[in-house]
């Protein structure tokens, strides 16, 4: 009789311990799965940022090449004359500069479009820069 009671207690104890261990195992497994999912998401985000950084680096390399080319052409007299005419509006002696007047509405529309593009470009650059630190 005593052996039967001990057996019942022992088997009941084992049953509860088994259930507790099962739930502990289940909780650990669940936490590991969640951690793995977060790691995969973070990895995908880092890969995405890396691709964006590579594209920006390539764009900067192209800009560097263009600027280096421009630096080498600055010493050329023909290039200096072209810059003086187009950017500074200068002219040689005996030449006349002709301006074509546009309608005011057309000019205003063009200026507004240019301002919007400049503002959007500026905002996007800041946004991209800020996203690098997230």
pTM (predicted TM-score): 0.43
CA–CA separation, 107 and 5 (whole Å):
100
Selected residue with higher pLDDT from 2 and 44: 44
Q: What angle do CA 6, 8, 9 make, to 5 degrees?
A: 65
Q: What is the pLDDT of residue 87?
A: 76
Cβ(105)–Cβ(113) below 8 Å: no
Confidence bin at 74 (pLDDT 50/70/90) = confident
Q: What is the pLDDT of residue 39?
A: 96
Say what percent of the chain tops pLDDT 90: 37
Across residues 94-108, what is the average pLDDT?
Answer: 67
Selected residue with higher pLDDT from 16 and 75: 16
Across residues 49-57, what is the average pLDDT?
Answer: 95
Nearest-Å Rg of the Cα atoms of the chain is 36
**Alpha carbon distances (Å) from 122 to 60, 61, 64, 128:** 16, 20, 20, 10
**Alpha carbon distances (Å) from 63 to 13, 22, 35, 70:** 75, 61, 42, 10
């Amino acid at each position: 009789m005593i052996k039967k009671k001990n057996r019942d207690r022992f088997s009941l104890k084992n049953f509860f311990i088994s259930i507790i261990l099962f739930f502990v195992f289940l909780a650990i497994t669940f936490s590991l799965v969640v951690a793995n999912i977060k790691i995969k998401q973070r990895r995908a985000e880092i890969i995405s940022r890396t691709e964006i950084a590579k594209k920006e680096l390539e764009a900067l390399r192209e800009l560097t090449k263009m600027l280096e080319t421009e630096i080498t052409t600055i010493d050329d007299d023909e290039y200096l004359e072209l810059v003086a005419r187009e950017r500074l509006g200068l002219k040689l002696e005996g030449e006349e500069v002709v301006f074509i007047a546009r309608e005011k509405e057309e000019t205003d529309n063009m200026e507004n479009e240019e301002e919007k593009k400049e503002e959007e470009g500026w905002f996007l650059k800041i946004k991209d820069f800020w996203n690098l630190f997230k």
